[in-house]
Structure 1
């Protein structure tokens, strides 16, 4: 990378790495990808990093006191500790070009660090979950608590968004949510849609036409968390086996000490057709789970994106994902993914939650009957997703952050804000700002409960809206040219997958 394009980037996250949850895994991947692209990346965490972060300079705060949340401690350290005490550059001698924060977990720390020490830096704020919809699903039996949590979390997000230069949604669903939240402020930043990277692994070779034994399904995530929907999947597996359709589900995701109790619960629900395995921070263990599965399922009741889906497709393994997820929105975006390859991967969310088990049982049964075709489609999706690597995501993020115009203020700020999406190979494509589209505009993508509840549609995603003009605040990033408005790229047709991968 030429020196003039190299950015000095500070990433803030309370913890980072495999086996620690979705945000830490995402943080590791995007930090390493930014470094791989040639940027000078420093990661500041509260808990020491245990996994490899190639090319990233690692720093930690002072030890976390007892009974203090990591996110609160990170903000306090960023606002009050001299950066030199944290192993960061002296602000009088060297500034950061970009500071990255993750939702309410480290977004407040990112703006505190910028305001206190590095005023010339731009701030990019990632949104990883819907702060209002998530509590509605999580506390479905307690509407008052859901409303309280939704108000609290969305309030934090809006306060941070009013002070940043760019909001970044992880996938299309959360980008629309970020725009909606940011548009409620007087000062509205630009928005960028990032597609989590797919790491392409050797293609799993199999002969599904000669399969013996039960259909082997895999689910990855926190067992015992009702949000993940594993109980529904277990009930669906029991329903199918009771009907003579042999299916087995393996769930990877529980602390060692909780495995026996959770295993019993899932066994009771499934009629003994579920195996629970403990969490693992070993990438090889997860990859082996995926390679040995006929399909990976993501039955979450709500998922901001769902890295599980693209991780499985990187191996050429078929997936089933819930409609109310960013992964589903991405796969069903006909401007990006050929519809004939992805439509069958999305499980519709029934209007009546009581019908959810039957919906998943039907989708699993159909997958079993169509397994040869679904394996072929997954292999072609794997080829297509090579254009959406973590390195591509990092390239587009760096460009979007360095070229975002100064956030506008006042009643027309939302209309002036620029919106971009990540195209193939890390291209940055400008679109219209969907948060301010008038009612009745045509929408793309499925109308999930989230879209209906929070107006999270894809309106305006194929247009070419005008960007607010003007330079950035403080020191400009290395990419000085504003991205010209452009139409969404045409969907390339992926080639047939080639052989040569490992056999099962």
Structure 2
């Protein structure tokens, strides 16, 4: 194997030796293992995030969960963030994670806790990958992991790129991911869709196999019952500015169809969207009514928030959660719905949809993983029928959601994901 581009000779040699003697990651679905005692850290891990809360969507959510899982597995973990409030610092500390505030994302030895020398440095895509690259260079014996969260060539066709040439835009973004990944110790892809894509992307580079990290479904599933009252909410949440990518038009049309078929019954079906950029709620609500084809559909829009209490309350009030994304590297919004025990429908093209299809019998997967095709009318009809089925007997739908989470949690947990990642190093 040729020296990785841009590395000093001694670091390139270390990287080659490490890759040669390290085994590939084990497949998902492995049994859980007891973590080592906290008094014997396995690695000193430096994770480059942007915030402890999920201020920028899935990246911070995944980084936070991974940091917590690595700490629970016996690692000493420091997470670099742009800012942190006292409650956030205390929350991280309760999981054994030390937050290091650095607005510029730089890390100096003097900033780190006494005795902490990074052995593993984690960067997330193009967002913090370059910061992880700089930090790893400052600690030559460290190994850098490059986590990829998105596939530009898959999501950019559905995004507003501001008049730029879409092909060139995607090519530049993909090239940046590859450049950061080729000099990393290992590339780690989140979920099956991204793993499959980046395994192909890195094939010509003679790099070590791309690892796969499947987020966990938790192990504390509790039975939920439908929310009381006669306002039955169909909820879509997440950043809503990329409306076509996130399938807001599909969700609006499908909810309208389901609501119309249930008209005259005791409960009223409402469509709720949590995720509008500040000051755009009225504009988005008008678009949703247009997309729905039913001006009488009750539509409520709320601005994007990172407040865990608000998000938990939204989920607690929901009768159904939708994630009809036309493309999604993984789909943490759908995962949040499943974790909350709410009947949740996810798109087949998403990484979460693929993971569910892999993990469940075909008939069970078909109840929660729905197609998203080029025919928007047919797609909306498929989703409308699934919404109707969930609302037909909400008690039964919530019971199915609880059983589904328990089945998934038996095979996909954050402790198992952290253990598998550590074994690969």
TM-score (norm 1): 0.67
The equivalent of 1:223 in structure 2 is 240
Alignment of 1:395-434 (within 5 A): 395-400=419-424, 402=425
Alpha-carbon distance in structure 2 between the residues aligned to 1:44 and 1:282:
20
**What corresponds to 2:250 in structure 1?**
232
| Secondary structure of 1:135's aligned partner | helix
> Offset of 1:368 from its aligned partner?
3.2
Contact kept, 8 Å, 2:191 with 2:352, in 1: the verdict is yes
Give the match's secondary structure for 1:42: strand
- Contact residue 203 and residue 315 of structure 1 kept, 8 A: no
Cα distance per residue 1:446-469 (max 9 Å; x no partner): xxxxxxxxxxxxxxxxxxxxxxxx
Where do 1:70-89 residues align within 5 Å?
A: 73-74=104-105, 77=106, 83-85=108-110, 87-88=111-112
Q: Does 1:34 align with 2:70?
A: yes
Correspondence 1:160 to 2:180: yes
Secondary structure of 1:233's aligned partner: helix
Q: 2:195 aligns with which of 172, 175, 182?
A: 175
Alpha carbons 1:168, 1:178 under 8 Å: kept: no
Gaps in structure 2 of 5+ consecutive residues: 1-35
Superposed displacement of residue 225, structure 1: 2.2
| SS of residue matched to 1:253 | strand
- Please state how far the C-alpha of 1:213 moved relative to its aligned partner: 4.3
- Structure 2 residue 389 is matched with structure 1 residue 350: no
Q: 2:7 matched to which residue of 1?
A: none
Distance 1:310 1:103, change over 3 A: same
Relative to 1, partners in 2 of residues 1:5 and 1:107: Cα closer, same or farther, differing over 3 Å?
A: same
For residue 277 of structure 1, what is the aligned residue in structure 2? 302
Question: Residue 386 of structure 2: SS of its match in structure 1?
Answer: helix
1:105 aligns with 2:127: yes
2:207 paired with 1:188: yes
Q: CA–CA distance in 1 between the matches of 2:226 and 2:403?
A: 15
- Aligned residues between the structures: 374
Contact kept in structure 2, 1:331 and 1:343, CA below 8 Å: no
Distance 2:161 2:56 in 1: 26
Note closer, same or farther for the CA distance 1:341–1:374 as it changes in structure 2 (3 Å cut): farther
Paired with 1:20 and 1:202, the residues of 2 have a C-alpha distance of 28
Cα distance in structure 2, aligned partners of 1:354 and 1:329? 23
Q: Which has the higher helix share?
A: 2
1:390 alignment counterpart? 414
Q: Does the aligned pair in 2 maintain the 1:350–1:359 contact within 8 Å?
A: no
Match status 1:290 vs 2:309: no
* 2:46 alignment counterpart: 10
Q: Retained in 1: the 8 A contact 2:236–2:322? A: yes
Distance (whole Å) between structure 2 residues aligned to residue 118 and residue 399 of structure 1 = 22
1:153-210 CA-to-partner distances (Å, cap 9, x unmatched) read: 110111111111221111111111221222132x412322111122445321249xxx
Summarize the Cα distance change of 1:241–1:12 in structure 2 as closer, same or farther, 3 Å threshold. same
Contact 1:301 1:322 in 2 (8 A): yes
2:291 matched to 1:266? Answer: no
Give the 3-state SS of the residue equivalent to 1:190 in structure 2. Answer: coil
* SS across alignment from 2:241: coil
**Does the CA-based 8 Å contact 1:31-1:43 persist in structure 2?**
yes
Residues 164, 189 of structure 1: 8 Å contact kept: no
**CA pair 233-88 structure 1, distance change in 2 beyond 3 A:** same
Q: 1:140 to 1:242 in 2, by over 3 A?
A: farther
The answer for unaligned runs of 5 or more in structure 1 is 64-72, 403-504
Higher RCO (CA-CA < 8 Å; seq separation 6+): 2
Task: Give 2:30's aligned residue.
Answer: none
Normalised to the residue count of structure 2, the TM-score between the two structures is 0.79
Partner of 2:12: none
The alpha-carbon distance between structure 1 residues 95 and 305, as it changes in their structure 2 partners (threshold 3 A), is same
The equivalent position to 1:53 in structure 2, one of 92, 110, 129, is 92
Does the 8 A contact of 2:345 with 2:368 survive in 1? yes
8 Å CA contact 1:138–1:146 kept in 2: the answer is: no
Contact preservation (8 Å) 1:42, 1:57: yes
Partner residue in 2 for 1:254: 276
How far apart, in 1, do the equivalents of 2:130 and 2:376 lie? Answer: 36
Shift of 1:89: 6.3
Tell me which of 107, 117, 135 is aligned to 1:95: 117
SS in 2 for 1:251: strand
2:24 corresponds to: none
- CA distance in 1 between partners of 2:270 and 2:150 (Å): 30
For residue 241 of structure 1, what is the aligned residue in structure 2? 259
**How far off is 1:295 after superposition?**
1.6
Task: For residues 117-150 of structure 1, give each alpha carbon's deviation from its aligned partner in whole angstroms, at most 9, with x where no partner exists.
Answer: 11211111111011211112214997x6221121
